[in-house]
Structure 1
Amino acid sequence: MTAPITDTSAQTSSPSVDPAEIARFSKLSSDWWDPNGRMKPLHRINPLRLAYIRDAACRKFGRNPKSLTCLSGLRVLDIGCGAGLLCEPLARLGAEVVGIDPSETNIAVAKLHAERGHLSIDYRATTVEAIDMRERFDIVLAMEVVEHVNDVGAFLARCASAMKPSGLMTVSTLNRTWKSFALAIVGAEYVLRWLPRGTHSWDKFVTPEELSNYLEASKLGVTEQTGVVYNPLADRWSLSSDMDVNYMLVAEAL
C-alpha cells in the first residue's frame, strides 16, 4: 500500500493558471486511472484524441501512422497532463514526452503509474510559463485545458513559444454555444453526472473563431479542425463536422 499523497500544488504567478481549477482537479487525482470512475468520459474519448494527434503528427513529419513507433524521435509537451492519460500512449508510440501539470498531486499519481508500467516520461509539477524558454518541442498539446485557464491569449502565446519552428500544436476544447451549455454542463454534470458539478464554466468556453484569432496573434495558423460528438446509442465518440460542443484543431507556424 502506498502512502496517501498530499497536494502541495506548484506555486506560480502564471497569468493563465486558476488556483481554483488546480484544486478541483487535484481532488480527482486518485480517480484518474479508473476507467469506470469519475474520469470515465476522458477514458472513453482518449483513443479518439490520441489517434487525431498521431495522425496529424504523421502527416506533418512524414511518418507511417500504422507503425508502433511512428512518433520515435519527436519531443512532445503535454500541457495540463493530469495523471498522464495521453502521455503514456504517446510514449509507447516512441515519443519523448514531457508532461506538465500545476497540481503536484496529479504529477505524483502520473509518476507512480508510469513507473508501474515501466515507462520513461518526464513529469513536472509546473506550468508552461515556468518551463525553460530555451526548451522546444515538435508537438505541443493543450487538450481540455484552454477552458480552464484565466488568460487564453497569454497561455496560447507561451504554448506557441515552446514549439519548434517546424512543429505543430493540437488543441481540444469546448465551443461557447447554447448547445454546449445544454450538453456539456447541464447534461454531463447535472443529468448524466459524468463529471462533478462545477467542472466547467460556460463563460470560459472558447469559440473556434476566438481560438483561431488567439493563435494568429501568436503567429500560428489553423491547418485543420474537427468536431467531436458523442453517440449515446453506440456509447462512443467520433469525429464530426459538428463543432458546436467539442472540437479539436491543429495549428502550425504561419
Structure 2
Amino acid sequence: MSDVKSTINPDEVAKFEAMAAEWWDPNGKFRPLHQMNPCRLDYLTTQIATQFGRNLRDARPFEGLRILDIGCGGGLLSEPMARLGATVVGVDAAEGNLPVARLHAEQSGLEIDYRHGTAEALAADGEAFDVVLAMEIVEHVAVPQEFIDTCAALVKSGGMMFVSTLNRNAKSYMFAIVGAERILKWLPNGTHDWAKFITPDELEDMVLNAQLDMVDRKGMVLNPITWRWSTSARDLSVNYVTTSLKA
C-alpha cells in the first residue's frame, strides 16, 4: 500500500507520536481529551443508537456494527465502542501510539483491531464501515477535502460519519492556542495550527462535496466553573462535532 496517496502530514504525526506514552494519563498531555470524552461519547452513542435503532440500556447495544476510529491514538474512543459490542478497527498513522493502545485494550479485556496505516489505505483495500469516527483529526491533515472524501468512501450505505474539529475565529485562537497551549499548558506549544482550523460551514461544504448529508452539528462547550463539557446547539464557536449520513 506504499503507493497509495495519503493526506497524512508527517509533522503532525510526529507531534502525537512523541506524546504516545501519555494517552491514558488523565492528568498528562491528553488531559483535554479525557475531560471532553464523556461529552463526546454521549453525543456519539446517542446518534448511533438513534440511527440504527439500538437501545443503550442493552448490555451490548452496538453488536453487529462495524466502527472505524481514524486517528485512534491510545484508544480513548475505540475502547468504549468495543465495550458497547461494536467490532472496532482503530487506525493511526503514528505507529508509536499502537503499542499503548493494544496493551491497554488487552489489560481491559477488549478485542480491538488496531492498525498502523491511513484512511486512504483502508479505502484502497475496499473496507467499509457502519460508522466512521474522524474526531479531532481533520485539522491535522494536509488536504482536508481529500481526507473527508476518503472518510466518506469508507461509510457503508445507510451508515454514519462523525467529524469533530475546531472552528476558526478569534475566540478559538484565544481558547485553543493562547489558553490551552500557552497559559494552561494543557497541550505542548504548536500542537494546533489556528490557520488549519475549519469553520462549520466549510466542513459542511466538504461533506456535501463528498456526497454525504450533514444532519446535525453541535458545539462542545467547556464550563469554566465545573470544568465539565456539554453539547450546545447554539455555541459552535470553538470545539464542535458533526453527524453526516450516507444514502
Q: TM-score range by the shorter chain?
A: over 0.9
- For normalisation by structure 1, the TM-score amounts to 0.93
Counterpart CA distance in 1 for 2:107 and 2:226 is 33
Aligned to 1:92: 83
Deviation at 1:123, TM superposition (A): 0.3
Counterpart CA distance in 2 for 1:107 and 1:15 is 19
Counterpart CA distance in 2 for 1:13 and 1:178 is 37
Unaligned runs of 5+ residues in structure 1 are: 1-9
Aligned to 1:105: 96
Aligned to 2:71: 80
- Does the 8 Å contact 2:17/2:97 carry over to 1? yes
The question of 1:248 aligning with 2:228 is answered no
SS in 2 for 1:226: strand
Aligned to 1:187: 179
Deviation at 1:206, TM superposition (A): 0.5
- Does the 8 Å contact 1:173/1:246 carry over to 2? yes
Q: RMSD between aligned alpha carbons?
A: 1.4
Query: Where do residues 208-223 of structure 1 align in structure 2 (5 Å cutoff)?
Result: 208-223=200-215
Deviation at 1:221, TM superposition (A): 1.1
Counterpart CA distance in 2 for 1:58 and 1:11 is 37
Unaligned runs of 5+ residues in structure 2 are: none
- For normalisation by structure 2, the TM-score amounts to 0.96
Aligned to 1:5: none
Deviation at 1:12, TM superposition (A): 7.3
The question of 1:227 aligning with 2:219 is answered yes
Q: Which moved more, 1:65-74 or 1:231-240?
A: 65-74
The partner residue of 1:66 within 40, 57, 62 is 57
The partner residue of 2:156 within 160, 164, 173 is 164
- Does the 8 Å contact 2:6/2:118 carry over to 1? no
Q: Match for 1:225: what amino acid?
A: R
Per-residue CA distance 1:124-163 (angstroms, 9 max, x = gap): 0000001144211000000000110010110010100100
Deviation at 1:68, TM superposition (A): 3.1
Aligned to 1:177: 169
The partner residue of 2:195 within 190, 203, 224 is 203
> Percent identity over the alignment?
49
Counterpart CA distance in 2 for 1:11 and 1:41 is 34
Q: Match for 1:245: what amino acid?
A: V
Q: Match for 1:112: what amino acid?
A: L
Residues 14, 193 of structure 1: CA spacing in aligned structure 2 closer, same or farther, 3 A cutoff?
A: farther
Deviation at 1:11, TM superposition (A): 6.9
SS in 2 for 1:185: helix
Deviating runs (4+, > 2 A) in structure 1?
A: 10-15, 65-68
Per-residue CA distance 1:56-91 (angstroms, 9 max, x = gap): 011100111222311111000000000111000110
Counterpart CA distance in 2 for 1:100 and 1:211 is 22
Per-residue CA distance 1:16-50 (angstroms, 9 max, x = gap): 11000110000100000011111111111111111
